Structure formats: structure tokens, C-alpha cells
Amino acid sequence: METLSPADWLPVAFAALMGIAILAYVVLDGYDLGVGILMAGATDPQRDRMVASIGPFWDANETWLVLAVGLLLVAFPVAHGMILSALYLPVAALLFGLILRGVSFEFRAKTDGTQRTLWNRAFIGGSLLAALAQGYMLGLYILGLEQSWAAVGFGLLTGVCLAAAYAFIGATWLVLKTEGELQARAVGWARRALGLAALGMVAVSLATPLASDRIAAKWFELPYLVLLAPIPVATAGLFALVWVALRHLPNAADRYAWVPFAGAVGIFMLGFHGLAYSFYPYVVPERLTVWDAAAAPESLMIIFVGTLVVLPVILGYTAVAYRIFRGKATELRYD
């Protein structure tokens, strides 16, 4: 039996690691971006409780973005240059939004009155800008980094839909982590955002095979059509489950408050799985495969060993943080 050389399996391993990091970021930072967006419709006391629900986690959540971009840079340098060159402006907008979020998150706690209101608005604006930029980049990536007006229009659509999806998962997080009037308001937010999130899922699912005959064949030719049918069926089932759960929330016993968030995580995971299956083995759609874009095997091996050390640390820190701060969010205090 012929054994695979490092040049064969290392690029695939790094693609898998990068995919895990992107998925973790989209789910974890997605909900705290969503909470930031939803603060636009909350009162000042509710905003404090919303910040308290994400405060212990949001720094750790953004670590996954650093890991994903770092892996893209060191493992697939050619693809890194091609992708970031094509998406320079939305990447700059994303970074500006994240910086604005970080600064306003700290400064809102040290001010009051008009200044506090301004920093709250900055946090909301930074969250929305980061979500829109990520969705726009997703739309252009799906269309192979095309720069036509149609691609820009599709990017804007996916930007709005991804922001709605983040608001949706953020609302389900608040259903899980809060109680009383804020929880009831979060249920309403989740119900309203659910439809737009579903629209975004449908738009991406339709555009992806239309963008490439290769991807269309992977989904619609036999036997793949039958073997892959459980993915859209399960996704639709999770949307229905979340909708039913939200109709029975909030309730006095706080039963099933975890179901909407768990369902939202499942929807994100299935959507990401569909995209990963569609684009593999390309790291730049229809241009560069993981093997074409990979760095030298010797470099990849060194980086791979380092990643095996760093990844458990990130996983351990994240697990400990979620373990310590489990349960309902409490009053926000800085003394």
C-alpha cells in the first residue's frame, strides 16, 4: 500500500484546520456580533445585561479569526495574497469595525451620559459593519472573487443576510443567557431575524452551484443528489425546530431556552459543511487547489507541529471560560 507523502496530506490537513477555525469564529463571534447589532433596539439597562452576557467570551471568540487568517497566511501564502488583494476594501472595513467594537466596549464602561450613548452607538455600528463586511466577502468568494456589478449586488445581499443571521444567533444566545423582559424581547428579535437568515441560506445555496459547473455536478449528479439530500432536509428541519421552540418561549420554567441557540449552531454548521464540500479542493474557487497554494512541505510540517500545540490551548481556554461563566448573565459591574 502506497503511503502519502507530507506534500500530499499536509495541505489537506491545513485546509481542515483552517475550516475548523473559520467555523468556530462564525459561530462564536457571530453571536456576540449579533448581540452588538441587537443593542440598537434595547434600553440602557438591557444593553448592560447584553454586554454582560458576552463580556467573558468575546475576546476568546475573536482568537479564532486570528488563527484562521494566520493559517491562511503561513500555509497558503499564494491564496492569502490573491484573496486579500481582491477583497482589500471589505477587509479594511472588517478590521475597522472590529477595532471600533473593541475600543467602544472598553470606553462605554468608563463614561456616562452623552458619551456613554455615543460609545454604545459605536459598538452597535462596529458590530454591524463587521457583519456586513464578512457577508460581502462571502458573496464575492462564492462567485470566485468576481468584480462585476452582479457580484457586488450579490455581495451586498449576502452582507445583509449574514448580518441578519448573526442577529438571529445573537438573539438565541440572549434567550439562553437572560431572563425577564430582555429574554422576551430576544425571542421577538429571533423570530424576526429567522426569516432573513433562512433567505440568506437559500440565496447562498442557489448561487454556489450556479457559479460553477463543477460544484453543480457535485450536488446534483447521481448518486450525490441522493447522498447529500439529508443536508438541506436537516437544515430545514432545524429552522422548523427553532421556530416551534420560539413560539413556546419565554415560559415560567425557562424550559427549552437552550433549543433555539443549539438549533442556530446546527444551522451554521450544516451551512458551513455545504460550502466546504462545494469548494474543496479549491482554496480560491476554480483557481487554486490546496496543493497549488500550499507552502513548502518542510515549512508546513513545522507550522503543523506548532498548530498542534496552540490549538489545544485555545480550545482549553475557551472551554474553561464557558464553564466558569455558564448560566444566566448577571448584573454588569466594574467595581
pLDDT tens for 136-161 read 999 898 888 888 888 888 889 889 98
DSSP string, 127-195: HHHHHHHHHHHHHHHHTTS--SHHHHHHHHHHHHHHHHHHHHHHHHHHHHH--HHHHHHHHHHHHHHHH
Average pLDDT over residues 132-139: 92
User: Residue with C-alpha cell 490551548?
Assistant: 313
The answer to whether residue 201 scores a pLDDT higher than 90 is no
Q: Which three cell numbers stand for residue 217?
A: 455536478
The answer to whether residue 1 scores a pLDDT higher than 70 is no
Q: Is there a domain that residue 334 lies in?
A: no
Average pLDDT over residues 272-289: 89
Average pLDDT over residues 208-216: 83
Model confidence at 265, in pLDDT bands (50, 70, 90)?
very high
Q: Which three cell numbers stand for residue 153?
A: 449586488
**DSSP three-state, residue 87:** coil
The answer to whether residue 28 scores a pLDDT higher than 80 is yes
CA distances from 159 to 136, 148, 174, 200, 301 (A): 5, 16, 22, 9, 36
**How high is the pLDDT of residue 142?**
86
**Average pLDDT, rounded, for the chain:** 88
CATH code for position 152 = 1.20.1630
Residue 150 burial (10 A CB sphere; 0-12, 13-18, 19+): exposed
**How high is the pLDDT of residue 335?**
53
Average pLDDT over residues 57-86: 88
**How high is the pLDDT of residue 332?**
59
Q: Please tell me the total count of domains within the chain.
A: 1
Domain span holding position 291: 10-324
Lowest-confidence segment of 16-20, 87-91, 265-269, 321-325 by average pLDDT: 321-325
The answer to whether residue 8 scores a pLDDT higher than 80 is yes
Neighbours of 314 (CB within 10 A): 16
**How high is the pLDDT of residue 223?**
85
The answer to whether residue 118 scores a pLDDT higher than 80 is yes
**How high is the pLDDT of residue 259?**
93
User: Residue with C-alpha cell 497554494?
Assistant: 293
**How high is the pLDDT of residue 253?**
79
**CA pair distance 292, 172, nearest whole angstrom:** 41
The answer to whether residue 269 scores a pLDDT higher than 90 is yes
Q: Is there a domain that residue 217 lies in?
A: yes
Average pLDDT over residues 246-265: 89
**How high is the pLDDT of residue 333?**
60
Most confident region among 152-161, 212-221, 264-273, 280-289 by mean pLDDT = 264-273
CA distances from 240 to 27, 235, 248, 259, 264 (A): 19, 9, 13, 12, 11
The answer to whether residue 197 scores a pLDDT higher than 70 is yes
CA distances from 237 to 78, 191, 193, 287 (A): 39, 16, 17, 35
**CA pair distance 235, 224, nearest whole angstrom:** 17
Model confidence at 100, in pLDDT bands (50, 70, 90)?
very high
Q: Is there a domain that residue 331 lies in?
A: no
Q: Is there a domain that residue 78 lies in?
A: yes
Q: Is the peptide bond before 250 cis (omega within 30 degrees of 0)?
A: yes
Q: Is there a domain that residue 316 lies in?
A: yes
Model confidence at 324, in pLDDT bands (50, 70, 90)?
confident
Q: Is there a domain that residue 65 lies in?
A: yes
Q: At 284, which helix (H) or strand (E)?
A: strand 282-284
Q: Is there a domain that residue 144 lies in?
A: yes
Which DSSP letter does residue 111 get? -
Task: Supply angle C-alpha 150, 270, 148, rounded to 5.
Answer: 10
Output the CA torsion sign for 149, 155, 158, 163.
negative
Report the share of the chain in percent with pLDDT over 70: 98
By the 8 A CB rule, do 64 and 100 touch?
Answer: no
User: Residue with C-alpha cell 479564532?
Assistant: 64
Residue type at position 135: G
Lowest-confidence segment of 58-62, 229-233, 264-268 by average pLDDT: 58-62
